[in-house]
Amino acid sequence: MDYTQTKSDIMQIDANIKAHTRYTCGLEGEWKDEESRSRSFFSSPDDQRTELFYALMKMGYIEKFYNAPYYWKVAKNGVEVLYIEGDLYLTASK
């Protein structure tokens, strides 16, 4: 599965969040591509995870579930984005 567009969307949002934050937050390190998914870490010391969620929604992603600010999933174009306490996972939609 090609996650290029989803990664690009997240990196654009990340840049916007970092532009108005005075401390370390957002994506940390490189994306790690694995057999069936890609993963990264998104630091959210001041609720940037919620900014990420709503920015993805504005970009046309559809909410799959939202159990808490630290546990949610959205999807678009066959790719799901799962956020669990900072960990971001990209997988093919089922």
pLDDT for 3-62, tens place per residue? 999 999 999 999 999 999 888 999 999 999 998 999 999 999 989 999 999 999 999 999
Q: Write down the pTM of the prediction.
A: 0.93
The pLDDT value recorded for residue 26 is 95
Q: Collapsing DSSP states into helix, strand and coil, what is residue 53?
A: helix
3-state secondary structure of 8: helix
Q: Which two structure tokens, joined as six digits, stand for 60?
A: 């046309």
